[in-house]
Amino acid sequence: MTTHSPSRTLTVAVVTPIDAELVEPIRAVADGVEVLYEPDLLPPIRYPGDHQGVEGFSRDPDSERRWQELLASAEVLFGIPGDSPSGLAAAVRSNPRLRWVQGTAAGTGEQVKAAALSEEELERVVITSASGVHVGPLAEFCLLGLLHFTKDVPRLRADQHARHWDHYPVAELRGSTLLVLGLGAIGTEVARLAKAFGMHTIGVNRRGVSDSPYVDEVYSPERLHDVLARAQAVVVTLPMTEETEGMLDADAFAAVRPGAILVDAGRGGVIDESALAQALREQRLKGAALEVFATEPLPTDSPLWDLPNVLISPHTAALSTHENERIDELFTENLRRYLRGEELLSRVDTKLFY
């Protein structure tokens, strides 16, 4: 990446809904930064941090003309138009001056893959994700899932509903073994929180190594079945790639330690959901807390909806009222790097698409 000349203006277009007060820090990065922000051209949001907007949003002819002019004038985009692969592809192909797009999702790589951009387009336009922004909320969800089943919340809820009073011992996280599949920022934070609860932590990643002080043992995927047999809890934070697709299949669930808890906060396609449902029915797994699914929304005929030992989150655990503030911080840091010609944070790998 070449250094940006301070003698010319760098035009940044904000193409995703954000609060007006978050625009000023972008302008303040450097004198030569021009920020185009026209909130009336952006869709109304459904909730704080919504980057797609209300369904069915459209612009009148004059607004559409202004929108296209805004997209065509930018060297940098904050956000992906429409938060969709088609919006990304259209923006890249309609503006030969475009050089960088900052996505707002940790899974921006999947949007890039679905956009089917050419090698030349991927060479011309750098795309960065919001990887790291959602670490805290997702790690908290993982601990929620572990505690939900360790403390047997389903039984508590059932007894409350039945007005049933009984005494019985409850398991603890302390002293148990947690297997974390994927040791990126989220997986490493899960391990840190798990150590605070007194858990023994095992990690699995591509290289089989980690410098995190919160991971007690690390293995490559070839050892997966061996470590599944040791863990009372398994947390998945893996991206979706050719290597990870279907990693937790029927054979993996056959190897799992009976009574283990599963939490998936990575990507749904990593798990064979039919095999998962069978393991849950047979109570080989005590329970599963699922934030992501192979098909979203989760089809209404999925057996996962009706299983009492499943906690379903509609891919919403990463959302936070502070999300846009953190994306803004990431973008402004990347903007400084862009102006200096330095490598950008969370750049999407256009071979692996994460």
Give the pLDDT of residue 8.
78
The SS3 of residue 145 is helix
Residues 257, 113: Cα–Cα separation, whole Å:
36
Domain ranges of the chain: 10-133+320-340, 135-312
CATH 3.40.50.720 for domain 135-312: yes
Residues 30, 298: Cα–Cα separation, whole Å:
45
Give the pLDDT of residue 2.
54
Largest CA distance in the chain: 75
Q: What is the pTM of this model?
A: 0.89
Q: How many CB atoms lie within 10 A of CB 226?
A: 10
Residues 112, 84: Cα–Cα separation, whole Å:
9
The distance in angstroms from the start CA to the end CA of the chain is 20
Per-residue pLDDT of the chain (354 residues; tens, 9 = 90+): 555 555 579 999 999 999 999 999 999 999 999 999 999 999 999 999 999 999 999 999 999 999 999 999 999 999 999 999 999 999 999 999 999 999 999 889 999 999 999 999 999 999 999 999 999 999 999 999 999 999 999 999 999 999 999 999 999 999 999 999 999 999 999 999 999 999 999 999 999 999 999 999 999 999 999 999 999 999 999 998 899 999 999 999 999 999 999 999 999 999 999 999 999 999 999 999 999 999 999 999 999 999 999 999 999 999 999 999 999 999 999 999 999 999 999 999 999 898
Residues 305, 277: Cα–Cα separation, whole Å:
10
Architecture of domain 10-133+320-340: 3-Layer(aba) Sandwich (3.40)
Residues 348, 318: Cα–Cα separation, whole Å:
19
Residue 116, both tokens: 């089917």
DSSP labels, 174-204 = TT-EEEEE--SHHHHHHHHHHHHTT-EEEEE
The SS3 of residue 233 is strand
10-133+320-340 shares its CATH topology with 135-312:
yes
Q: Which residue's structure tokens are 């980690």?
A: 210
Residues 315, 334: Cα–Cα separation, whole Å:
27
Residues 265, 145: Cα–Cα separation, whole Å:
10
Give the pLDDT of residue 6.
58
The SS3 of residue 35 is strand
Residue 47, both tokens: 């909730």
Beta-carbon contacts of 173 under 8 Å, excluding residues fewer than 6 positions away, are 146, 147, 150, 194, 197, 198, 199, 233
Catalytic residue list: 267, 296, 315
Yes or no: say if 67 and 82 are a contact pair by the CB < 8 Å rule: no
